[in-house]
Amino acid sequence: MRSMASSASSRGNIAAIVGVGPKLGRSIARKFAHEGYTVAILARDLGRLSRFADEIAREEKAQVFAIRIDCSDSRSIREAFEGVLSLGFVEVLVYNAYQPISWHPTNFTDIKVEHFEKSLAVSSVGAFHCAQQVLAGMVERGRGTILFTGCSASLSGIAGYSELCCGKFAMRALSQCLAKEFQPLGVHVAHVIIHGIVGTPRGPIASSSQQSLLVGEQQHQQTGGGAREGWMDPDALAQTYWYLHIQDRSAWTQEIDLHPSNQRYM
């Protein structure tokens, strides 16, 4: 299913943002819309996604499409990207999808295998399928960008978070494999590791109401509005995604590690 936030006309190639919630995904979509891209935003909740599309299209005077996707289901991914590819050449793919898990650590013996498999499916298998949908067009044109969103769990196993870590480890490996295979063909592949809590944007779409926050790729409940000290502004993070996309190919980043300024390095 697809809905469109109308605007005057299409303004160029497509940026497909997979995994769009109220914070990082929405900020990335808004940034690429601001820079003149037609944007396809994809997530499971089409109703909420359509509201984001309307909002971004109105603010940026851009063309924004909302397309439902379930990144744990290969058929859903194929159907969703039939819609995305019908819009034009996908020059940018941002894979920001995650499977929500408990904020509290789970004893390994208590983890249900179906929950483990679902997390792996979304974090790594879904990333694999989405990349396959767009790479042929990028290679044919000799250009394109694929950006994967990781977190602290991409680098180090964390007790109680086997589901998250295994999926994120696999996605990081996928990013490295694709970078080595496709960057010589003109496709920039990079992995963005976010160490910290992603708060509400400080820009026009920030809300003063209580909202859930993304902790790396996990959910945590905010006790007040706005971004707290040490929390990461998703609009600032979105700028990094944009900079990665426009990097000169003589100096491409393959992995970037982002921290708030007051966080100690481990």
Average pLDDT of 45-62? 96
**94 Cβ neighbours under 8 A, 6+ residues apart:** 15, 16, 17, 18, 25, 28, 146, 147, 149, 241
Predicted confidence (pLDDT) per residue in 232-259, tens digit: 999 999 999 999 999 999 999 999 999 8
Average of per-residue pLDDT across 67-83: 97
Extract the tokens encoding 239.
């700028």
Is the alpha carbon torsion for 160, 100, 94, 257 positive or negative? negative
Q: What angle separates helix 162-182 from helix 113-120, to the nearest 10 degrees?
A: 20
Q: What is the pLDDT of residue 105?
A: 83
What is the mean predicted confidence (pLDDT) over 81-85?
97
Local confidence band at 228 (pLDDT 50, 70, 90 cut-offs): low
SS3 content of the chain, % helix, strand, coil (to 5): 45, 20, 35
Return the closest-CA partner of residue 174 out of 101, 95, 113, 118: 95
pLDDT at residue 164 above 80? yes
What would the pLDDT profile of 3-44 be if each residue is shown by its tens digit? Answer: 444 333 334 699 999 999 999 999 999 999 999 999 999 999
Q: Please list the alpha-helical segments (H only) found in 158-255.
A: 162-182, 234-246
Q: Which residues pair with 147 in a beta bridge?
A: 94, 190
> CA–CA separation, 84 vs 18, rounded Å?
11
pLDDT at residue 86 above 90? yes
Instruction: Give yes or no for residue 194 having a pLDDT over 80.
Output: yes
> How many angstroms separate the CA atoms of 101 and 155, rounded?
18
Average pLDDT of the chain is: 84
Under the banding of pLDDT at 50, 70 and 90, the label for residue 98 is: confident
Question: What per-residue confidence (pLDDT) applies to 202?
Answer: 65
Residue type, 171: M
Which is more confidently placed, 35 or 263?
A: 35
Is it the case that residue 173 has pLDDT exceeding 90? yes
Residue with more model confidence, 68 or 108: 68
Average pLDDT over residues 134-158: 93
Tokens of 181: 């295979």
Please provide the DSSP assignment of 66-134 as one string: EEE--TT-HHHHHHHHHHHHHTS-EEEEEE-------SS---GGG--HHHHHHHHIIIIIHHHHHHHHH
Least confident of 71-75, 181-185, 213-217: 213-217
Q: Using alpha carbons only, how large is the chain's radius of gyration in Å? A: 17
**pLDDT cut 70: percent of the chain above it:** 82
